[in-house]
């Protein structure tokens, strides 16, 4: 039997399973159907069970461990369980973060904001000096396993 895909929408909370019995909550802040990509904020509130909506609703963008763009596949396929839809979700509470773009061949860095319509192109960029940019997540879309590896590394 073919499993029905879940709708991915901004404001949905999910539990990302890191290990056999360890979950971290994440919220979809933007979803771009044209590229099937989602901007997610991820939190370090690990729990042994998938969190419930009441335990995550008070989390905020400023308390997130990180934000990055992921393929929407693990969300739509149910690999990361849906916790629920935040009834109070608004884009203003979950702003588009700055990301880091690096060109290692010519040794240049930029801080960039992504286009909300596709999450793949930049709409604003500012050149940085080589010693700036440590506070930004490097840009690029993550698959399920790479996203989990990033979070595990940040939680060390």
**48-84 confidence digits (pLDDT tens):** 888 899 999 899 999 998 898 988 888 888 888 999 9
Per the listing, tokens 């905020």 go with: 60
> What torsion, rounded to 10 degrees, do the Cα atoms 61, 65, 110, 121 define?
-60
Residue of higher predicted confidence among 147 and 115: 115
**Average pLDDT in the 18-44 region?**
90
| 113/45 Cα distance (integer angstroms) | 26
Sort 52 into a burial class: Cβ within 10 Å, 0-12 / 13-18 / 19+: middle
Query: If we measure between CA atoms, which residue out of 25, 85, 26, 74 comes closest to residue 51?
Result: 25
Tell me the pLDDT tens digit for each residue of 82-102: 999 999 999 999 999 999 988
């Amino acid at each position: 039997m073919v499993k029905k895909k879940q709708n991915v929408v901004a404001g949905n909370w999910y539990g990302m399973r890191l290990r056999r019995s360890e979950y971290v909550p994440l919220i979809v802040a933007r979803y771009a159907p044209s590229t099937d990509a989602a901007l997610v904020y991820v939190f370090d509130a690990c729990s042994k069970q998938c969190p419930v909506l009441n335990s995550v609703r008070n989390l905020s963008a400023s308390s997130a461990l990180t934000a990055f763009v992921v393929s929407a596949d693990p969300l739509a396929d149910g690999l990361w369980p849906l916790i629920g839809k935040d009834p109070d979700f608004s884009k203003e509470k979950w702003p588009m973060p700055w990301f880091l773009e690096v060109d290692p061949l010519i040794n240049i860095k930029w801080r960039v904001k992504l286009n909300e319509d596709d999450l793949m192109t930049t709409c604003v960029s500012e050149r940085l000096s080589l010693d700036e940019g440590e506070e930004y997540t490097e840009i690029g879309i993550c698959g399920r396993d790479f996203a989990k590896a990033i979070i595990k590394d940040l939680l060390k």
